[in-house]
Amino acid sequence: MTLTDWPALPFREWEATCDTLHMCTQIVGKTRMALAPHLNHWWHVTLYVTPRGLTTSAIPLPHGNFDAEFDFIRHRLAIRTSGGEEREIGLYARPVADFYREYMSTLHSLGIEAGIDTAPAEFDDTTPYEEDRHHASYDTSAVERFHRILVSTNHVFQRFRARFLGKSSPVHFFWGSFDLAVTRFSGREAKLPENADHTMREAYSHECMSCGFWPGDRRYPEPAFYAYHMPAPQGFEDARVSSGGWNKQLGEFILPYREISGSQSPETLLLGFCQSAYEAAATLAGWNRDCLECGRTRTA
């Protein structure tokens, strides 16, 4: 594999595997949510891209810590403690319910107790994990291609993040929406609709602009990159971005993944999409760009 790699991954071809993997990442991700200290904007719940897959990073315990890493090369979930104990759970075609039971049993064998909400989050099937026997697919080739895309996207998003001096999220993977994202903040509190729920109020308590990648879902059945501002400034949907275009249904700019994978300069195309969407949003929303961006003259 080269430094960046953009293989084809049509959503319909791995939809069943994508759904199964989505549920497995939720089970592991909710462990971090249950045990890690709360961070603003739900940053304490996310996973992170590694050379081998996705990790929780270190999760605190009363004595020491542990992590869990999805290894999409060997197709194992590795669980490691600071005390030197290690366990592995195989990733293969089997019901989510079986994965859930083995995972919770493995944590228990390590002395780790984490009660989690077993109802799926941000998913169109509400079957509890322990009862889910219909999501049971695991296409190793598709998972490997998904991992390669995450590695490549993470590389570009890290470059995008490095251009910003203001508050910025890590490049992290949200297991609820099953997307990799990076977010910049203006420093101002956001004005949200009165009917915004608790999840949205925490995620968007402050004005922000976000770029991300998701592999597709039944609402938008193809992989794509996205960019949005929350709350959207007036005229944002008419702004010019370097590639892609405004999607009225989703309320954000969309760059279909097929345009990246078919490009001779995919990294340049993706970075340009992120940067141009940010510049449009920040300008329309009146961000103090001189203070927030690297390479610009700062105000006194």
Using pLDDT thresholds of 50, 70 and 90, give the confidence band for residue 60. very high
Contact 217, 11 (CB under 8 A): yes
Would you state the pLDDT for residue 296?
Answer: 62
**What does the pLDDT average to over 55-71?**
97
Phi, psi values for residue 173, rounded to 5°: -110, 120
Cα 138 → chain centroid: 20
Residues above pLDDT 90, as percent of the chain:
90
The helix-helix angle for 266-285 and 140-162 (nearest 10°) equals 50
Query: Taking the complete model, does pTM exceed 0.75, yes or no?
Result: yes
What are the beta bridge partners of residue 69? Answer: 55, 78
Question: Of 183, 280, 180, 184, which Cα lies nearest the Cα of 224?
Answer: 180
Which residues partner with 210 through β-bridges?
Answer: 183, 228
Reported for 121-125, long-range contacts at CB under 8 A and 24+ positions apart, including other chains, are 121/26, 121/30, 121/175, 121/176, 122/176, 122/177, 122/178, 123/22, 123/23, 123/26, 123/176, 124/217, 124/218, 125/19
CB 65 within 8 A of CB 55: no
pLDDT tier, 122 (very low <50, low <70, confident <90, very high otherwise): very high
Q: How do residues 166-176 score in pLDDT, each as one tens digit?
A: 999 999 999 99
pLDDT band at residue 300 using 50, 70 and 90 as cut-offs: very low
Say what the pLDDT of residue 1 is: 42
Give yes or no for a contact between 274 and 160, defined as CB atoms under 8 angstroms apart.
yes
